[in-house]
Chain A
């Protein structure tokens, strides 16, 4: 059983976009115990739709299991009997940390679309303040999948001395044009929803559910693999015969609509917009003329990179780019390419070999 905690920060945070966030809250959870020397702390960074609720369940709801509970816990690959694990909801999020749903102190109304477009760099800077707050000088490891992996990588660049190991899973050093394109389709779905109201929909008592639903549907398609969809759904029909209408004929339509509706029911559209922009903007090599090896020269951590064979949004090739850039810089790095049919979402599943690799790596971390 776990419970979220809240930390308030009064020191202004200068964001990459130039804005200054005068004060903010971060909601976080912890699992396990910080040892006396403070050497066993691990930060888990979430991806697009994740939160601080990484593992365990809340007392009042047995279904409220954390998003990476199969990986994090006692006796699990990231073993909370050895490590003190921290999960945090990022700035701009919709799970309690300061974000578009929070009240803008300057106006007394929700920030809405006026919340600054925060980036991976800003998140890591804020996570650094949380580490200070928790008395953690140096993380034994920072781990994340997808957008979370970008944060783990950014930690090694922003705070090279404050992280000993980075586990960068199903991630990339920057998005491809195709990836940005998918993100923009998702954003356009939200931005053109009549209920969006320029991002101030809270005041109108509505949410752009249709846009968010479409955004999730397109995202979901890209997180799965063609093979897996064929295997799971194929052309299987809902009913006995075709309807010759625009109602659901095929199982895949039903599944996607259900996933879209579910997501639109709890996630915030402004957070979705911000988070996809954070993905698009991340490109540490950008300041080095595209030279990733030069960008990673600051890193001092040891790395584990993991990719999945059928992940076409964060393809193995993107992980290999990071591997070779790290070898160039003579960093300790291991790279596993996991055979999986489940596409990008594989990183959230409990494939035994994948978990054995991550578990073996954590076992080797000295605390």
Chain B
């Protein structure tokens, strides 16, 4: 997934990570984010991915990677072990969204989540025209997409509110431009910093 994940997102995420933190990157792709965070924040990180080519790419990148199926949860990781648990542009590929978010906030102090916004205006227009959206952020056809959950910024925030997940920060983008006006309509993707509520 990292091929559609621009450097500017790395900077946003790095801005939320402190020096020397323990970081878990779920759906880590080729490990470039962890490599970047190691360079700029001296983190100790682990990636998780279940795609064999991604696992190999991480090893080639010198990044710790653990091949497990995220749908089976994060059972092996201890409560509160990580400072940040990141899931960049992968949440929509996980079937058990609620459990995933709960698990991220179990093993991590905070979670960082980014996802493509299905409510993005061009996507709405595609649907209105009768076709599923295909775009830079959603580069797949409906029949070959790894995405299994289709949700908007508004949907996600409703879920967080309903499950006691605190949105500590949100940045929304159209391409690499920050969006502040009506992000649910104007942003192609969003990045969140989440914590346990209360």
Give chain A's interface residues, CB within 8 Å of chain B. Answer: 304, 320, 323-324, 327-328, 330, 332-339, 353, 356-357, 360-361, 363-364
Contacts and interface: CB of A to CB of B under 8 A. Distances in A.
Interface string B39-79: 00000101000001001101110111111100000001110
A338 B67 CA distance: 9
User: Which residue of B52, B62, B67, B76 has the most chain A CB atoms within 10 A of its CB atom?
Assistant: B67
Nearest to B46: A327
Contact of A336 (B46, B55, B77, B78): B55
A360 B60 contact: yes
A353 B53 CA distance: 8
Contacts of B81: 327-328
B44 to A, nearest CB: 6
B121 interface: no
18 contacts: A323-B66, A323-B76, A327-B77, A327-B81, A328-B78, A330-B44, A332-B64, A334-B59, A334-B63, A334-B66, A335-B66, A336-B56, A336-B67, A339-B52, A357-B56, A357-B59, A361-B59, A364-B60
Interface size class of B (residues with CB under 8 A): 20 to 34
A335 B60 contact: no
Given A323-B66, A327-B46, A336-B67, A353 B59 contact: no
Contacts of B63: 334
A339 B52 CA distance: 9
A324 B64 contact: no
Contacts of A332: 64
Contacts of B59: 304, 334, 336, 357, 360-361, 364
A333 B65 CA distance: 7
Contacts of A337: 67-68
B76 A324 contact: yes
A249 B188 CA distance: 66
By Cβ-Cβ distance, the 3 closest A-B pairs, closest first, are A324-B76, A360-B59, A360-B60
Contact of A324 (B22, B62, B77): B77
Given A335-B66, A337-B67, A361-B59, A353 B52 contact: yes
B77 A335 contact: no
Contacts of A364: 59-60, 62
B29 to A, nearest CB: 15
A304 B62 CA distance: 11
A320 B67 CA distance: 9
| Dominant SS among interface residues on chain B | mixed
Contacts of B56: 336, 353, 356-357, 360
B27 to A, nearest CB: 16
A330 B46 CA distance: 10
A334 B52 CA distance: 12
Contacts of A361: 59
A336 B52 contact: yes
A361 B64 CA distance: 11
B62 A335 contact: no
Nearest to B44: A330
A356 B52 CA distance: 11
B78 A357 contact: no
Nearest to B60: A360
A360 B68 CA distance: 19
Contacts of A320: 68, 76
Nearest to B53: A353
A330 B52 contact: no
B184 to A, nearest CB: 37
A334 B65 contact: yes
User: Which residue of A328, A334, A338, A361 has the most chain B CB atoms within 10 A of its CB atom?
Assistant: A334
Interface string B122-164: 0000000000000000000000000000000000000000000
A77 to B, nearest CB: 12
Given A323-B76, A328-B78, A353-B52, A333 B66 contact: yes
Nearest to B62: A364
Contacts of B46: 327, 333
A336 B48 CA distance: 10
A360 B66 CA distance: 15
Interface in B1-47: 22, 44, 46
Nearest to A363: B60
A339 B77 CA distance: 23
Contacts of A356: 56
Contact of B64 (A334, A357, A360, A363): A334
Contacts of B55: 334, 336, 357
A291 to B, nearest CB: 13
Contacts of B78: 328
Given A334-B64, A357-B55, A364-B62, 15 more contacts: A304-B59, A324-B77, A330-B22, A333-B46, A333-B66, A334-B63, A334-B65, A336-B55, A336-B59, A336-B65, A337-B68, A339-B52, A356-B56, A357-B59, A360-B60
